Amino acid sequence: MDIDILLVLQAFREGVGGCLTSFLSKMTWFGEMEVVLIFMGLFYWCVSKQTGTYLLMGWSGNRIVNGFLKVTACTYRPWIRDSRIVPEAKAMEAATGYSFPSGHSMNAASLYGGLAIRRNIQRGIRVVMWIMLFLVAFSRCFLGVHTPQDILVGAAVGVLVMFLTGKLMGWLELNPNKDVPIALIGIAVAIAVAIYAAFKPYPVDYDANGNVLVDGLKMANDTFKAVGWIAAFMVGWILERRFVKFTTEVGMQERFLRLTGGLLGYYVLSLIINPLIKTTLVGFAGTIATCFLQMFYIVFLFPLVMVRIRAKSTSSAATEQVV
């Protein structure tokens, strides 16, 4: 039935021309891993540290859950399951890993769904967030890279993880000294999932020419990304709580500085430093290391830099007043 629905959507996509395809291709971009991570980082730096922490924690959890489910189910992509499915070519570039559950849908559930279930956010914004979640998830089916089952489970599990994350953060507010045990549990889970993904057996099927259809370990790459992200979040979160303690209660000028400076540093890291790391650390080690640095930069390194700059600026202003 999943494949039949995709065939109907494919016929519609081919019949209506490129207008709707172009729109939904743009919507699927809003569910990509690094796009969602950047948006959450900006929220964490510039809007609300508390809500940003919730989003980053929940997204990190969702990535590890998604990775675990993918390498457990080992569900092939729709076009591998049925040659009649012809996905949109550009959408296939971001269609990495196994198919079930949809990573884009879980990313969207983390950011847009995560905000939609926050009672302290205005109702109109929450409605827009639900619409964003729907459009990102639906775009994956419309473009032919996921089945309805993939996106429904992905969105539902993603929202559930965000709900549980909210409950966990509420509990931590009452028990702030429990943050280290929670972080250790998160890191232990990440390590366990990495070991599981690296050593579990994967299905091996062949096409008519005798070529392997899917390399299981290659499909597990997204799982190793998740391990780097969640480990970095846990370490950075504890270090920031203990030694940095930055705040988003700042003026618009500093918010703008955080936005521009944070993005610049992130792109230097992603486009220059991480590629250099991948040339020395190949395979899964490089994947985990680069993703660890991305999240660690967002949660700890950049806030540390901003706090130091603010302290130095305040000290200089005080000295000038004395003089």
For the chain, domain boundaries? 2-313
pLDDT band at 19 (very low <50, low <70, confident <90, very high): confident
pLDDT band at 222 (very low <50, low <70, confident <90, very high): confident
Cα(127)–Cα(183) distance, integer angstroms:
32
pLDDT band at 207 (very low <50, low <70, confident <90, very high): confident
Greatest extent of the chain over all pairs of C-alpha atoms, in Å: 83
The pLDDT tens digits for 232-247 are 999 999 999 999 989 9
Tokens describing residue 3: 């494949």
Phi, psi of 212 (to 5 degrees): -65, 130
The pLDDT of residue 315 is above 70: no
Which pTM was predicted? 0.92
Question: CB-based burial of residue 277 (10 Å sphere; 0-12 exposed, 13-18 middle, 19+ buried)?
Answer: middle
What is the reported pLDDT for 82? 86
What is the reported pLDDT for 12? 86
What is the reported pLDDT for 179? 93
pLDDT band at 105 (very low <50, low <70, confident <90, very high): very high
The pLDDT of residue 17 is above 80: no
Query: Helix axis angle, 302-322 relative to 252-268, nearest 10°?
Result: 140
Q: How many CB atoms lie within 10 A of CB 264?
A: 10
pLDDT band at 277 (very low <50, low <70, confident <90, very high): very high
The pLDDT of residue 13 is above 90: no
pLDDT above 70 coverage of the chain, percent:
96
Nearest residue to 88 (alpha-carbon basis) of 149, 150, 23:
23
CB proximity list for 194: less than 8 A, separation 6 or greater: 223, 224, 227, 284, 288
3-state secondary structure 11-48: HHHHHHCHHHHHHHHHHHHCCCHHHHHHHHHHHHHHHC
Among 22-31, 163-172, 268-277, 308-317, name the one with the lowest average pLDDT: 308-317
Cα(116)–Cα(128) distance, integer angstroms:
8
Tokens describing residue 128: 């827009």
Mean pLDDT of 107-124: 94
pLDDT band at 32 (very low <50, low <70, confident <90, very high): very high
Average pLDDT, the chain: 90
The pLDDT tens digits for 76-100 are 899 888 888 888 888 888 777 789 9
What is the reported pLDDT for 240? 96
The pLDDT of residue 64 is above 70: yes
Nearest residue to 5 (alpha-carbon basis) of 138, 154, 158:
138
How far, CA to CA in Å, does 20 sit from each of 5, 10, 31, 84, 138?
A: 17, 12, 17, 21, 12
What is the reported pLDDT for 138? 95
Nearest residue to 227 (alpha-carbon basis) of 185, 197, 194, 274:
194
Helix spans in 74-211 (H): 78-81, 89-92, 103-108, 114-116, 123-142, 148-174, 179-199
What is the reported pLDDT for 298? 97
What is the reported pLDDT for 47? 94
